[in-house]
Amino acid sequence: MEINSDKYSLAENKLLILYTLSKVGKPISHSKLQELVISICDMNYFYFQQYLLDLIEDKYVYKFLHKDEVFYELTDEGKEGLSLTIDLLPGILKLEVDSKFKKNFDDIRDKSAIIAEYTPISDKEFFVKCKIIENDTTIFNLETYAGSREQARQMVNNWNQKAAEIYPEILNIITK
């Protein structure tokens, strides 16, 4: 499915995702990849999703589930495709990726140590996940129900702001 009629822009954006995956050099979670690519260029979230789906369908990117989280990795076909078409990616964009990559990737990795999100079950019911990840290992995972969007948002905000306080309290309570 083509979203953008400008084929050059389409190819350039897919190449940007492949190039970013090659710079990471290891599996990366969906949220980290999305945040990294969008921080490097002004790509629309929906375009990013479609480009990524196209790359998976073309077998340039491998998608897998690890500990309830979706990860992506460059395939051998993706590496070969990137090496054959890397010249289509403008030098200025490669320079921007290279210069922003280390800082943005480190920032994303630091922020991803504490994760909270909610998913709607229905209009009035939500599923909330709160995690702590250290060295790519989930050390704490809490999944619960929220009876309203506001309650789900409050849980996510509290976890994001106070996980360092909440986590030890929960451990203390369950180990008594």
Residues 6+ apart with CB under 8 A from 138: 67, 68, 131, 132
Whether pTM exceeds 0.75: no
Give the CATH number of domain 7-111: 1.10.10.10
| Res 154 pLDDT > 90 | yes
Rounded CA Rg of the chain? 19
Round to whole Å and give the CA distance between 41 and 34: 11
Output the pLDDT for position 33. 86
Q: According to CATH, where is 1.10.10.10 located in the chain?
A: 7-111
Output the pLDDT for position 61. 93
pLDDT tens profile 60-92:
999 887 777 888 988 989 999 888 888 877 777
Round to whole Å and give the CA distance between 113 and 153: 19
Round to whole Å and give the CA distance between 24 and 73: 9
pLDDT tens profile 6-32:
555 778 888 889 988 888 777 888 888
